[in-house]
A and B are shown apart, each in its own frame.
Chain A
């Protein structure tokens, strides 16, 4: 079955540490996205990418970095510069464009906490 796999499901970060969240999709989607969700809140866009080796900042990119070396993969690094990283992180993918209605497909998320 096609889908999006996020790992790990739970992640703990120590002070001053960078951590990387994995996101892999086998839907052959061009576009991939990272969102942050705080308790009781909606989704806020961190980064998004349309094609390999290209990505754009979303609304809350500070303290985060991404790479897109392969179409299937879009890892997110939460750097030590992100002072409040505790949140639920969701990865999504979709077709890059076109007139047809294409919803985003989501992974099951990663819960990140500070030790």
Chain B
């Protein structure tokens, strides 16, 4: 079964420093997509970054980058120059292939709560 694992329930980082949030995944599919979302305390889910399984380069979006190691099945999120507003829950997600229903399903990890310290 496809699965997303986030082993860090909580992380602290000093403001302006970089932090890496871990994500490993398990799938037998060749084609899949990996996503990271941010969930502030208000509850909304904010899409941050995407990595496709066939993408040869690591994805980057501003201060966010994704360290994609396909052989190790890991897709770690790197946040550079942390800001106080980065304090939130972060979820790694994988898009399942549409086997029978034709609709993509998304599997989420349990999340990592990041706290940025001033």
Contact = CB atoms under 8 A, between A and B. Distances in A.
Contacts of A107: 44
A50 B102 contact: yes
Contacts of B91: 42-43
Interface in A17-53: 31, 33, 35, 40-45, 48-50
B11 to A, nearest CB: 14
Contact of A106 (B45, B101, B102, B104): B45
> In which size bucket is the chain B interface?
20 to 34
Contacts of A108: 42-44
Nearest to A94: B104
A50 B37 CA distance: 22
A92 B102 CA distance: 17
B105 A48 contact: yes
Nearest to B113: A40
B103 interface: yes
A88 B50 contact: no
Which of B35, B43, B98 has the most CB atoms of chain A within a 10 A radius of its CB? B43
A44 B91 CA distance: 12
B12 interface: no
A102 to B, nearest CB: 8
A41 B110 contact: yes
Interface of A: 31, 33, 35, 40-45, 48-50, 56, 58, 88, 90, 92, 94, 96-97, 101, 103-109, 111
11 contacts: A43-B108, A48-B105, A50-B101, A50-B103, A90-B45, A92-B45, A96-B102, A97-B98, A97-B102, A103-B35, A104-B47
Given A33-B106, A42-B91, A101-B33, 4 more contacts: A44-B108, A50-B101, A108-B42, A111-B43
